[in-house]
Structures are given as structure tokens and as C-alpha cells.
Amino acid sequence: MDAKEISKAVIKRLPRYYRYLGELMEEKVERISSNDLSKKMHVTASQIRQDLNNFGGFGQQGYGYNVKYLYHEIGKILGLDKTYNLIIIGAGNLGQAIANYANFERRGFVAKVGIFDINPVLEGISVRGIEIRMINSLPEFIRENQVEIAILTLPKNKAKEMAKVLIDNGIKAIWNFAHTDLDAPEDVIVENVHLSESLMALSYNLSQYRNEHTEK
Ligand code: NAI
């Protein structure tokens, strides 16, 4: 099935299925029913069946889901069966924290990482074995390593200008942490991440809960 036909809501839930199935594999569970998966994930069994039916089901009546198979199929849908070279632009607090986040490699889709900054004090410092490079070597690094993904963790007022440089040098996807919208052509995928939005959702849910439970 064409992935474009699948609703965004379903795509958003796939990483969670992937994570739970990964845990089941670690526990050596070979198959699981939608009911058991439902209890584990706190999602209704019918939601699970509906979601997974989008991809041809993968389940068998009376058998449930083959955990390993489903894990790999969802991985393929999420593009995790490929490897990508990626770069981090801005080796400050956030850039270094992301570089330190070992789970990317555990997921298996990151082949090579480069970290770039403009601050000469940082040049050559190693973050988990990855050396911080100066920004003037960026175009060459992208070319030589066929880098497709860039992570933007630099100041907001530098992000648009940097996105242009990245796109001009062939970057195909940007994971943007700077709090600004980027101008990118249709063939460049931008995913914005704002931790503060998640915190606002948390604070909203907390105040909703309190309102509902104090009125009575
Ligand atoms: P930081 O000040 O520790 O690091 C920024 C780094 O970018 C510095 O090392 C600086 O030298 C470098 N830099 C500046 N101009 C550059 C350029 N043109 N090219 C390459 N590197 C350049 O800041 P921090 O705390 O790491 O935050 C980075 C960015 O991420 C900020 O824009 C911040 O607002 C944003 N942020 C976003 C979050 C989110 O949830 N989206 C959460 C936390 C921070």
C-alpha cells in the first residue's frame, strides 16, 4: 500500500508499536494477540487491529501477531531498515545531548554522524567519539559522506540561513529544533521538534484534570 494513503494519526502511533514490539523481542516473546498488545500498550484491541490492517494486517486468526515479523515490517514502513548519515549543526547543550543519545544507533538507522559549530573553542572536541568540526568544512563533509539528514540545534536567528546552505548542499531532511519555521522546497522534509509544546500539553492536561476533579 502507498504510505501516503495512511493517515497521519496512524503513522504517529507506529513508533510506539515499534518500541513495544522491540521490548517483546528482547523478552523473547514470539507472538502476541491484539488483546495482549492492547493491555500492554493501553490502546484498545480494535484500534490495534484497525491500525495494523492498514498494512495488510500481519496478523492471523487464532495465532495473533508474529512479533519479529511485525517489528521488521513496521521498521520498514518507518524507513528504519535503511541507514542514513546525519549531521548535527550547533554543538552546544542540545547538539551535544543529541550526539550523546546512543539509542539512535541502537535503532540501527544511523550510519555516520558529524557535528559542526562555528565556535573555534569546540573544534576537535570529541562527543562520544565524534569530533566537532568547523562549519567551513560542512559542504565537503556532506558531499563525501552522502549526508541526507541534518539536525538543527543552533540559535534561532541562524537557522533559516543555515537551512538554505544545507539544502543547497544536498540535504534532504531537516530535524529542526530551532524555534523558527524554515523555508524548504517540497522535496526537502522538515520535522519541527518543540519540547515546550509537549510541556504545554502536559500543563493543559494537568489543569483540565484538576478542574474536573475539584468542581464536584
Ligand atoms: P547553545 O548556545 O548551548 O548551543 C548553540 C550552539 O550553536 C553553540 O555552540 C554555537 O556556537 C553554535 N552556533 C551558533 N551559530 C552557528 C552557526 N551559524 N553554525 C553552526 N553553529 C552555530 O544552545 P542550546 O541550548 O544547545 O540550544 C540550541 C538551539 O535549540 C536554540 O535555538 C534553542 O532555542 C533550541 N532549543 C530547542 C528546544 C526544542 O525543544 N525545540 C529545546 C532546547 C533548545
Pocket probe for ligand 1: among 101, 154, 161, the residue whose CB has the most ligand atoms within 8 Å is 154
Distance (Å, rounded) from C-alpha 87 to C-alpha 171?
Answer: 10
Helical (H) or strand (E) element with 202: helix 195-215
Other residues' Cβ atoms within 10 Å of the Cβ of residue 165: 15
Q: 119 CA to middle of ligand 1, Å?
A: 12
Which of 67, 66, 37 lies closest to 49 in space, CA to CA?
37
Cell numbers placing 29: 516473546
Q: What is the tens place of the pLDDT at every residue in 4-35?
A: 567 888 888 999 999 999 999 999 999 998 89
> Residue 157: what residue type?
N
Residues with CB under 6 A from ligand 1: 89-95, 116-119, 135, 153-156, 158, 162, 177-179, 193-196
Strand order in the sheet with 189-192: 126-127, 130-134, 110-117, 84-89, 149-152, 173-176, 189-192
Q: What is the tens place of the pLDDT at every residue in 88-140?
A: 999 999 999 999 885 666 666 777 789 999 999 999 999 988 999 999 999 99
Is 19 exposed, middle or buried (CB count within 10 Å of its CB: 0-12, 13-18, 19+)?
Answer: middle
Distance (Å, rounded) from C-alpha 121 to C-alpha 132?
Answer: 10
Q: What is the tens place of the pLDDT at every residue in 151-194?
A: 999 999 999 999 999 999 999 999 999 999 999 999 999 999 99
Distance (Å, rounded) from C-alpha 80 to C-alpha 78?
Answer: 5
